Amino acid sequence: MVWLNKIFKGSNLKISAGQSHGSHADDVFWTEPSSSIDGRQGYEDEDVDHAIAVSLSEEDQRGKAIDNKSHLEEDEQLARAMQESLFTESPPHRNGQVYQPYPFFFPSFSRRCAGCNKEVGHGRYLSVMGAVWHPECFRCHECNKPIYDHEFSMYENHPYHKSCYRKLFHPRCDVCKQFIPEIRDGRIEYRAHPFWGQKYCPLHERDGTPRCCSCERMESMDAKYVTLDDGRKLCLECLNFSIMDTSECQPLYLDIQEFYEGLNMKVEQQIPLLLVERQALNEAMEGEKNGHHHLPETRGLCLSEEQIVRTILRRPIIGPGNRLIDMITGPYRLVRRCEVTAILILYGLPRLLTGSILAHEMMHAWLRLKGYRNLDPDVEEGICQVLAHMWLDSEIISGSGSNAASSSSTRPSKKGARTQTERKLGEFFKHQIESDVSPEYGDGFRAANRAVDQYGLRRTLDHISLTGRFP
């Protein structure tokens, strides 16, 4: 029979097909997209499949002239039985579903490689990304070497070896420097600082990895922090701008006083400024009857009571194990001559952070000295945060001290122009004020800032004096 001869004399052309799928990452959970390659060698099975299909079509045409229809039906049944007997393996699967080969034949001239644009003739080929490829033409977008693996990754419609993709796009932990591990469902979960963008494994929030007490960045493997005597950690960038003793802080105190004078809010009284350790600050806070304190850690106090405070007289030095040693402290007796006896600031913080805390506490002093009594915490802390934010703004914008607050201030800052690193720290300290979530410091600042933006600082203060609230 004609169809039986065609089974053994059919075309040598091969047929293959394949497909790929990928996915992309989101903000917190990162997923490595992957696709699969379906590339197969055409064998005699496919020739037989094509020959049978052609023979059945021809027999169907001849069937019009054949009277013995039962004989034709027997031939067709026999052909189907032989076809089924040739396929001993189960049909191929992809993405959990059975892949059905194309039921028709593509001539070889209709297939062109998406890589070299040459004809894909007899032999092996790959069908991925909606096109066909010579195996040697399907290459990684990074290393430009052929992708022979069964799976590959995609990014922006480009294929990658899984290893190349991991090297380029798999997030690394900025703390331990390792690839951030996958979680159970294949996604990658990590934490990121909202300002610095530092990415790290969630484990580091629980394994005791230190944070800088100033900028909040985690200590990485390649940058060891300095340990202060009270246990706080300080990164080397913040250490470079830190203020460590009371005498070192006096020029900054003069800057803040001039800033207030430029706002026509001069503080006439001579108020002592002392840099202290954390223990001394906590002890002074316990002895103070008035004031609102920002938990979890207070970094500044405006005192109204008489007491003895231990202040830092000489800055410490860095000793073995990156610890600060040889710090000298001494007692200082506070005497009440007005409503404010002293301002205390936690030592070891960068100049801009120390200055913003000092500007905040100076506003507490100004309010008490001007007779602003019994203000609600959100009002008092809110307006104090506005003054701290304004001072930081003036420092960052001017880059050379606080004289930007008023043309009447002529003495430049002792530090001179801000470096890019210090300006970035200043932006972070502003961000801390702006993003604070506490009712007194955060909501209070935002309410006070809106009032100052709309009515100005002087009218806002006048309204607070009359009503105890923001306008």
pLDDT surpasses 60 at 314:
yes
DSSP 3-state of 248: helix
Judged by DSSP in three states, 443 sits in helix
Which span out of 15-19, 32-36, 378-382 was modeled with the highest average pLDDT? 378-382
Beta strand extents in 23-72 (DSSP E only) = 29-31, 35-36, 38-40
Domains and CATH numbers, the chain: 111-169 (2.10.110.10), 170-240 (no CATH), 242-400+418-467 (no CATH)
pLDDT at 119: 86
Spell out the residues 6+ positions from residue 164 whose beta carbon is closer than 8 angstroms to its own: 140, 141, 142, 143, 153
Amino acid (one-letter) located at 447:
A
CA dihedral 418, 302, 428, 414 (to 10 degrees): 0
pTM for this model (two decimals): 0.68
Query: What is the spatial distance between Cα 308 and Cα 41, in angstroms, rounded to a whole number?
Result: 90
What digits encode the pLDDT tens for the residues 110-169?
Answer: 688 989 988 887 778 888 888 888 889 999 999 999 998 878 888 888 899 888 887 888
Q: Which residues pair with 273 in a beta bridge?
A: 343
The structure tokens listed for 200 are 């790290």
Q: Are strands 35-36 and 191-192 parallel, antiparallel or unpaired?
A: unpaired
Query: How does pLDDT run across 269-298, given as a tens digit for each residue?
Result: 999 999 999 999 988 888 776 555 555 578
